[in-house]
Structure 1
Amino acid sequence: MTRQTTIPDAASAIRAAGLRVTDSRHAVYDALAGHPHASADDVFARVAPVVPSTSRQSVYNALGDFADAGLVRRIEPAGQPMRFELRVADNHHHLVCTGCGRVEDVDCTVGHAPCLHPSETHGFSVATAEVTFWGVCAQCAAA
């Protein structure tokens, strides 16, 4: 599987998702482009200096609109805040550090969705698989 390496410019991506381009949405998209796996609060901290009139609620609304439109992917590591990323075009997984909370992408183990198959489907037609690997990153292990 080829990892998504280029991110479309914000205005084009937002329009392609059927959404209106606003300064706030543009800044939210740019924040995610530079910092994948960011929480809503992380995104707000990056957007506020760029668009001072943006509220925390506006950032939450933009992230929700982006997720509903398929522009971003929500990931929800247990015990951590919801995170957002622009890498949506594949079925990849995540490594999460139990020390610092760092999240890294891991390409799908086979290369196409679903890359894992359950032993019993219970009648479901499985489309994707989400796997979260938990461990300690090298920096936390060294500390």
Structure 2
Amino acid sequence: MTVEPQAGDLLKRKGLRNTAQRRAVLAALRGHPHSTAPDLEARIGVGKHAESGLSRQGLYNVLEDLTTARLIRCIEPAGSPARYELRVGDNHHHLVCRGCGRVEDVDCAVGAAPCLDPLERKGFAIDEAEITWWGLCEDCQRRTTTSP
């Protein structure tokens, strides 16, 4: 089963034109959550002579369009470049390794958004809480304990 027909249907349902560039970005994110724009550039092929027909600015435009349409999610852990994922519409959070930058999804223990309530709402109608846990992944922990 190819990604393109599914991607095309998703784009149409969100009111976006079904372009090869948008389908290419969606396909490049499949199986590669938390990709940065440079990751996607390398996976798709971007530039003057690229088969995708996508320029660097075009890639950023597509990422913005897909994020705005909520077909992809952009997360921006502190000190890290923006990362993109296909997992949208659920209530999940992230673990980020301080050593290597690896990002992992974590399902919300509560399930329903916003999953946390602030002490004061200050007039806001809150619909989401984004939680990022920071630490060291197993590989970085091993490197830390075996370093001289």
TM-score (norm: length of structure 2) = 0.85
TM-score (norm: length of structure 1) = 0.88
- Maintained 8 Å contact 2:99/2:136: yes
Q: Which residue matches 2:27?
A: 30
2:140 pairs with 1:134: no
Per-residue CA deviations over 1:84-112 (Å, capped at 9, x if unaligned) read 11111112110000111111111112010
* Whole-Å separation in 1 of the counterparts to 2:14 and 2:125: 26
* Whole-Å separation in 2 of the counterparts to 1:51 and 1:27: 11
Q: Which runs of 4+ in 1 moved over 4 A?
A: none
Q: Shift in Å at residue 29 of structure 1?
A: 0.4
More displaced, 68-77 or 52-61? 52-61
**Equivalences for 1:80-95 in 2 at 5 Å?**
80-95=80-95
Amino acid aligned to 2:58: S
Corresponding pairs, count: 136
**Equivalences for 1:1-80 in 2 at 5 Å?**
9-48=6-45, 51-80=51-80
* Whole-Å separation in 2 of the counterparts to 1:51 and 1:91: 36
Structure 2 gaps, min length 5: 144-148
Larger Rg: 2
Q: Which has the bigger relative contact order, CA under 8 A and spacing at least 6?
A: 1
Per-residue CA deviations over 1:13-72 (Å, capped at 9, x if unaligned) read 122221111221111000111211111111111110883432111111110000111111
Structure 1 gaps, min length 5: 1-7
- Alignment root-mean-square deviation, CA: 1.6
